[in-house]
Amino acid sequence: MADFADETPEKAQPSGRSRSEIRAARIAVDYFVIATIYLIAGMAALPWLTTPMLDYFYQPRILALVHTFTIGWITAAIIGVLYRYAPALGHKPLPYPRLLAPQLILFLIGSSGVISHFALGSWSGVWSAAIVLIASLILFAVNIVPCVWAGVGRGIAQTGVAFAVSFLLAAATLGFLLALDKSVGIIGGNLLDNLAAHANLAAIGWIAITVCALSQRMLPAFIGAMAIDFDRRRWLVYALGGSAITLAAALLFAGQIIVIAAAIFAALSIVVFVMSIFAMIPGRRPMPGWTAPHVAAGAGWALLAVASGLALLALGGDSMIGAHVAVVYGAAGLLGWFGNFIIGMSYHLFPGAVAHVRSAKGWPSMKFAEIESPSGRWMIFAGYNAGLAIVSASALASQAALAEIGAALTALGTAIYALATLRALSFAYRRQPPALRP
């Protein structure tokens, strides 16, 4: 657990580390910057796309927006976290640091290509860019999986990371095939079922398993919870992984009865995970910082995502009410659940990554409070979550104008967060902190 606790070193001596070690230290921050920029782009577009989203979610611009959040923000942020902490989990360095630069370049080309071609409505552009993105993700897996492989089956974090990376590759490959199908017609079946299979491999298999595995390991140190034997909870990873595989396979190949059973299994797995999170959060004891409130809010949004997902299964996504429930499902799952977890945990993880870079370069050290100021975090929490609540309620009530106001409020809270985050991350690229300037 000490690997994930806050550290505030007073001095940092020149480390004398090799260029490859410095590159490995810096890559996490590079991804955090990319993730934050994608977050800004997605939130800038969200208020303008809220009304079209309520009309129907399966539109080129809406698909571009969703992938801005899923690939651009969430996946980039998780990749950065894993580059930073997978070596600590396995107690071994990244095996192929020379792959970091080409992997980053391919990720930028692939992710921006997928998103921009979705917006343009060019399916050939989407699947062409997806090939580049998959190549990037393979290079990422080549570096990450060896770090955690020895702990698979024993530690929850190591097991979860290995499982999640496998699901990431599976989700990306299925997404490529779905885009290619638009050009050459290689996949049969129902469009919405195929799309749901891809979404569940990504959301449950990749994102939820990573969030589960790392939160079980890190959160007790971040929120002042009592120590737990987190590795004994690795069955949560197996439950989420099994539900993701079962639900995706059922949507692609099976009948409605099996899909319903698989969806209930997935819902129960997520509910159990949420209960484990609530069990960690301190009761009446003071909660340090804003990580715990974001995590608690994220857990609550996860329950709403489960409920709206089951409702969407019953209603179908091709009806008007189903389309509105799909908006709630996306807002609750992607932004409410995953977004709150990323924001809350970034308050600890991002300054730690910056401090690590500064130490690797031998630059003057900075305390965490100097890297990222805690002021204004209540506005981030309130604006972000209140706006999502307004969007969700307005979607169900078919009130597009009110939904736009909620989206603008969420975007405002996000803007405060993003500007503070970019300022904090900038200290990994400049030697002298402001306090030390003449």
For residue range 175-222, list pLDDT tens digits in order.
Answer: 999 999 999 988 888 888 899 999 999 999 999 999 999 988 888 878
Q: What is the mean pLDDT of residues 6-12?
A: 39
Q: Kindly give, in sequence order, each residue whose CB lies less than 8 Å from that of residue 163, ignoring residues fewer than 6 positions away.
A: 205, 209, 213, 237, 241
Closest by CA to 117, choosing from 139, 102, 132, is 132
Q: What pLDDT is stored for residue 15 in this prediction?
A: 45
- pLDDT band, very low/low/confident/very high, at 32 (cuts 50, 70, 90): very high
- pLDDT band, very low/low/confident/very high, at 227 (cuts 50, 70, 90): low
Average pLDDT, the chain: 89
- pLDDT band, very low/low/confident/very high, at 226 (cuts 50, 70, 90): low
- pLDDT band, very low/low/confident/very high, at 1 (cuts 50, 70, 90): very low
Q: Is the pLDDT of residue 285 over 80?
A: no
Q: What pLDDT is stored for residue 12 in this prediction?
A: 40
Q: What is the mean pLDDT of residues 378-391?
A: 97
**Measuring CA to CA, how many Å separate 276 from each of 86, 205, 213, 311, 319?**
23, 18, 12, 24, 35
CB 122 within 8 A of CB 139: no
Q: Cα(27)–Cα(42) distance, rounded to whole angstroms?
A: 23
pLDDT, greater one: 372 or 93:
93
Q: Apex CA 160: angle with CA 147 and CA 28, to 5°?
A: 55
Closest by CA to 400, choosing from 52, 58, 63, 65, is 52
CB 63 within 8 A of CB 118: yes
Q: Is the pLDDT of residue 10 over 50?
A: no
pLDDT, greater one: 390 or 183:
390
DSSP string covering 236-295: HHHHHHHHHHHHHHHHHHS-HHHHHHHHHHHHHHHHHHHHHHHHHS-SSSPPPTTHHHHH
For residue range 39-55, list pLDDT tens digits in order.
Answer: 999 999 999 999 999 98
pLDDT, greater one: 61 or 58:
61
- pLDDT band, very low/low/confident/very high, at 375 (cuts 50, 70, 90): confident
Q: Is the pLDDT of residue 438 over 60?
A: no
Q: Cα(78)–Cα(32) distance, rounded to whole angstroms?
A: 9
Calculate what percentage of the chain has a pLDDT beyond 90.
67
Q: What pLDDT is stored for residue 282 in this prediction?
A: 64
For residue range 131-159, list pLDDT tens digits in order.
Answer: 999 999 999 999 999 999 999 988 889 99
The two tokens of residue 136 are 């990037």
The two tokens of residue 322 are 């189903």
Q: What is the mean pLDDT of residues 302-321?
A: 90
Q: What pLDDT is stored for residue 235 in this prediction?
A: 87
CB 409 within 8 A of CB 391: no
State phi, psi for 111 to the nearest 5 degrees: -65, -45
- pLDDT band, very low/low/confident/very high, at 228 (cuts 50, 70, 90): low
Q: Cα(107)–Cα(76) distance, rounded to whole angstroms?
A: 9
**Statement: 18-430 belongs to CATH 3.30.413.10:** no
DSSP assignment letter at 431? S
Q: Cα(229)–Cα(252) distance, rounded to whole angstroms?
A: 37
CB 204 within 8 A of CB 243: yes
Domains in the chain: boundaries: 18-430
For residue range 322-348, list pLDDT tens digits in order.
Answer: 889 999 999 999 999 999 999 999 999
Q: Is the pLDDT of residue 370 over 90?
A: no
Q: How many residues does the chain have?
A: 438
Q: Is the pLDDT of residue 8 over 60?
A: no
**Measuring CA to CA, how many Å separate 158 from each of 214, 234, 353?**
9, 9, 20
Q: What pLDDT is stored for residue 255 in this prediction?
A: 77
Q: What is the mean pLDDT of residues 237-258?
A: 89
Cβ atoms within 10 Å, residue 124? 13
Q: What pLDDT is stored for residue 373 in this prediction?
A: 78
**Which one-letter amino acid corresponds to residue 66?**
V
The two tokens of residue 17 are 């580390």
Three-state SS for 202?
helix
- pLDDT band, very low/low/confident/very high, at 225 (cuts 50, 70, 90): low
pLDDT, greater one: 243 or 103:
103
- pLDDT band, very low/low/confident/very high, at 11 (cuts 50, 70, 90): very low
CB 388 within 8 A of CB 340: no
CB 131 within 8 A of CB 151: no
The two tokens of residue 42 are 């997605």
Calculate what percentage of the chain has a pLDDT beyond 70.
91
Q: What pLDDT is stored for residue 2 in this prediction?
A: 41
Burial label for 431, CB within 10 Å (0-12, 13-18, 19+), is exposed
- pLDDT band, very low/low/confident/very high, at 256 (cuts 50, 70, 90): confident
Q: What pLDDT is stored for residue 395 in this prediction?
A: 95
Max mean pLDDT range (184-193, 357-366, 411-420): 411-420
Q: Is the pTM of this model over 0.85?
A: yes
Q: Is the pLDDT of residue 304 over 80?
A: yes
